Amino acid sequence: MPRNALASPVVLATLGALLERPMHAYQLTQVLATRGVPVNRGSIYDTLDATTRAGWTKPRPAEQVGARPQRIPYALTPAGQAELARRLDAQVRAPRREFPEFLGAVSHIGVLGPERAADALAERAQRLEVLIAHGQQRLDEALGAGSVPRLFVIEAEYALAMLRAEKDWVLAMADDISSGQLAWPGTRPQDRKEER
């Protein structure tokens, strides 16, 4: 957890999940993992401790199911709902530069050399296509059943739009590398064309 545990991006995901229903740490870890939030129980306990101290969450009486150990569920407080709304409003309004893992890899793609880089990008595009098809199928199923309002799945629409944009960029970049439009250090575009 960061020095200020309340600054962690896990806080927003935690408050959002607890808006749905009270949960204990283990349930919360599972729910967030299915949503792609990288957490472990330790960070969830830290988050719950910090949000409870801030008055955003509140422990409820311990529950025990069968032979499992007692677990303490946490509920979102009115102050937590207000904080969730404040954070969501700020994040929707103001874009931030984030640093995804792929951006870090692309910034050093020159290490691979042109052929290997183009091949790696082409393979990524194929894998993205599989993710897009799977995501679209799941979205279509959710909306087709009529049991889920579109508002509740717009994050899936956004994720698909980002995957499609990434795939288009990756394919264009692979083509630029293969055609020689993107020169590697020590070569010029015309040198690459003459090699062919």
- Selected residue with higher pLDDT from 129 and 5: 129
Find the mean pLDDT for residues 40-62.
Answer: 92
d(CA 13, CA 24): 14
In this predicted model, what pLDDT tens digit does every residue of 134-192 receive, in sequence order? 999 988 988 888 777 888 888 889 999 999 999 999 999 999 999 999 988 765 555 44
Per-residue confidence band for 196, with pLDDT thresholds at 50, 70 and 90: very low
Alpha-helical regions (H) of 7-77: 9-20, 25-34, 41-53
Question: Which burial class, exposed, middle or buried, applies to 58 when counting CB atoms under 10 A from its CB (0-12, 13-18, 19+)?
Answer: middle
Q: Judge contact between 76 and 59, C-beta under 8 A.
A: no
Q: How many other C-beta atoms lie within 10 A of the C-beta of residue 61? A: 7
Higher-confidence residue of 16 and 152: namely 16
Answering whether pTM is above 0.75, one says: no
- Residue 121, φ and ψ in degrees, nearest 5: -65, -40
77 Cβ contact partners less than 8 Å away, ≥ 6 residues apart: 55, 56, 57, 58
How, if at all, do strands 74-76 and 57-59 pair? antiparallel
For residue 1, what pLDDT is reported?
A: 44
pLDDT for position 3: 52
CATH architecture of the region 5-93: Orthogonal Bundle (1.10)
The span from the CA of 174 to the CA of 186, in Å, is 19
How would DSSP label each residue in 103-137?
Answer: HHHHTTGGGG-HHHHHHHHHHHHHHHHHHHHHHHH
Domain ranges of the chain: 5-93, 101-195
pLDDT of residue 2: 46
Q: How many helices and strands in the chain, by DSSP H and E? A: 8, 2
